[in-house]
């Protein structure tokens, strides 16, 4: 069975410093991707670059900042970007398919299930799926923020064997090597903790949106879904192959977790919580350490506006998020039974479909 490799390429790798497509760079990446097929891989590509490719073609002198200007640039840039990929891939007798997604697509299990069926058919026929955020219709409040996050969600969705996030640096360093000669590179990271995050800087280049912090966020999502991650550079022949095989010019993030079921992926990373439940220390321990369901007796307070069947966040007393789950009560009923035992819940409410506020089968831990 072919190994699935999701490759994410950022704007800075595909465009010039002043915007516009770098055809040589696209030809290089297309050749590297085509080479993965010959080695028995099934590559999938998540690409940035639509806005960067389009804003000069539309007449702007610099990358636009207003939403409607970025959307207009993306409308032009998407066509230019896909044309460039198609032409470059054709040299290796490969065909690309464009898949534009928004965060709201991931909020619907039906819509994302339909997308998975399309992706599977494309892969079966040897077509390269190319993903990008649908910037033309996305609004800031519902955007992924950058394609790093999108690449992690896609990697989990297709149960990839590895996610490769390409950038203009060769991995994660203990400090900025341009300013600190003592900085060293991390070859392998087994756990993304607060110390690792403190080493990440801010935003990236003038034509891109993501910095190392966004790549750490993506690596955390992917590894929690059972997908190992590479973050680094590919600028010479064979670099992508080396990264796919566990080497390359970058940092590898490992995971011991199994692939997360699609239902759990949707619940943990794709759904939109409509409220929050704050729990006490006993309930927090039961959820994190014992893998138990959440009962009303362990709930301190509730927030938001939700009904039975909606997704809610669960937070500890200090406000830190523990995970997400499907709640079995309307908010009005749950407010009445917070802190009550099972017997008291049955005495208080006329109708109780399930005693658990969140059953462990409808729960995903995100700590």
> Residue 218: its pLDDT value, please?
92
- Yes or no: say if 88 and 26 are a contact pair by the CB < 8 Å rule: yes
What tokens appear for 366 in the block?
A: 């995100």
End-to-end CA distance of the chain: 33
Nearest to 309 by CA among 367, 266, 362: 362
Sheet bearing 96-101, strands edge to edge? 96-101, 128-133, 41-47, 3-9, 162-166, 229-233, 249-253, 188-189
Q: How many residues does the chain have?
A: 367
- E strand or H helix at 163, and its extent? strand 162-166
215 torsion bin: left (phi>0), alpha (psi -120 to 50), beta (else): alpha
Homologous superfamily assigned to 273-365:
PUA domain (2.30.130.10)
- Can you give 286-326 as a three-state secondary structure string? HHHCCCCCECHHHEEEEEECCCCCCEEEEECCCCCEEEEEE
> Residue 119: its pLDDT value, please?
96
Q: List the chain domain ranges.
A: 3-263, 273-365
What tokens appear for 194 in the block?
A: 């607060």
CATH 3.40.1160.10 given to domain 3-263: yes
> Residue 104: its pLDDT value, please?
76
- Give the three-class secondary structure for 179: coil
> Residue 142: its pLDDT value, please?
44
Matching residue, tokens 């879904």: 225
Give the CA-trace dihedral at 153, 158, 159, 164, to 10 degrees: -60
Nearest to 335 by CA among 273, 276, 272, 271: 276
> Residue 202: its pLDDT value, please?
44
- Return phi, psi of residue 75, to 5°: -60, -40
- Yes or no: say if 185 and 172 are a contact pair by the CB < 8 Å rule: yes
By DSSP bridging, strand 275-279 and strand 311-315 are parallel
> Residue 135: its pLDDT value, please?
64
Matching residue, tokens 């039961």: 286
H-helix segments, the chain: 11-14, 23-38, 50-54, 67-90, 103-107, 109-124, 147-157, 194-198, 212-224, 239-244, 262-265, 281-288, 331-337, 342-348
Average pLDDT along the chain, 367 residues, taken 10 residues at a time? 89 80 94 96 94 89 87 91 96 96 78 90 97 71 70 92 93 85 91 84 44 88 93 95 96 87 78 93 95 96 95 92 95 96 94 92 89
Same fold, 3-263 and 273-365: no
Rounded to 10 deg, the angle between the 23-38 and 67-90 helix axes is 50
DSSP type of residue 260 = P
Matching residue, tokens 């770098």: 22
**What does pTM read for this prediction?**
0.81
- Yes or no: say if 4 and 33 are a contact pair by the CB < 8 Å rule: no
């Amino acid at each position: 069975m072919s190994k699935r490799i999701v490759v994410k390429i950022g704007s800075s790798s595909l465009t010039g410093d002043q915007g516009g497509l770098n055809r040589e760079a696209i030809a290089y990446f297309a050749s590297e991707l085509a080479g993965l097929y010959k080695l028995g891989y099934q590559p999938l590509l998540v690409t940035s670059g639509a806005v960067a490719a389009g804003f000069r073609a539309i007449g702007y002198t610099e990358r636009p900042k207003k939403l409607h200007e970025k959307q207009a640039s993306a409308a032009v840039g998407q066509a230019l970007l896909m044309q460039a990929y198609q032409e470059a891939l054709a040299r290796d007798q490969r065909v690309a398919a464009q898949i534009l997604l928004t965060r709201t697509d991931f909020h619907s299990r039906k819509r994302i299930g339909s997308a998975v069926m399309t992706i599977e058919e494309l892969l079966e026929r040897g077509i390269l799926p190319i993903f990008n955020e649908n910037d033309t219709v996305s609004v800031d409040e519902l955007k992924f923020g950058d394609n790093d996050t999108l690449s992690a969600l896609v990697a989990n969705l297709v149960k990839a064997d590895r996610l490769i996030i390409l950038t203009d640096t060769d991995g994660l360093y203990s400090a900025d090597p341009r300013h600190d000669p003592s900085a060293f590179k991390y070859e392998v990271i087994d756990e993304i903790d607060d110390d690792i995050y403190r080493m990440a800087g801010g935003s990236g280049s003038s034509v891109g949106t993501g910095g190392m912090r966004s790549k750490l966020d993506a690596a955390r999502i992917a590894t929690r879904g059972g997908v190992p991650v590479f973050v680094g550079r590919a600028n010479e022949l064979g670099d992508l192959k080396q990264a796919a095989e566990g080497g390359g010019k970058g940092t590898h993030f490992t995971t011991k977790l199994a692939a997360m079921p699609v239902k759990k992926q949707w619940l943990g990373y794709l759904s939109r919580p409509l409220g929050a439940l704050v729990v006490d220390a006993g309930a927090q321990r039961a959820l994190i350490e014992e893998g138990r369901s959440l009962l009303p007796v362990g709930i301190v307070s509730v927030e938001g506006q939700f009904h039975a069947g909606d997704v809610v966040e669960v937070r500890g007393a200090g406000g830190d998020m523990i995970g997400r789950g499907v709640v079995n009560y309307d908010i009005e009923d749950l407010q009445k039974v917070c802190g009550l035992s099972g017997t008291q819940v049955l005495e208080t409410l006329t109708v109780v479909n399930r005693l658990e506020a969140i059953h462990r089968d409808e729960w995903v831990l995100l700590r």
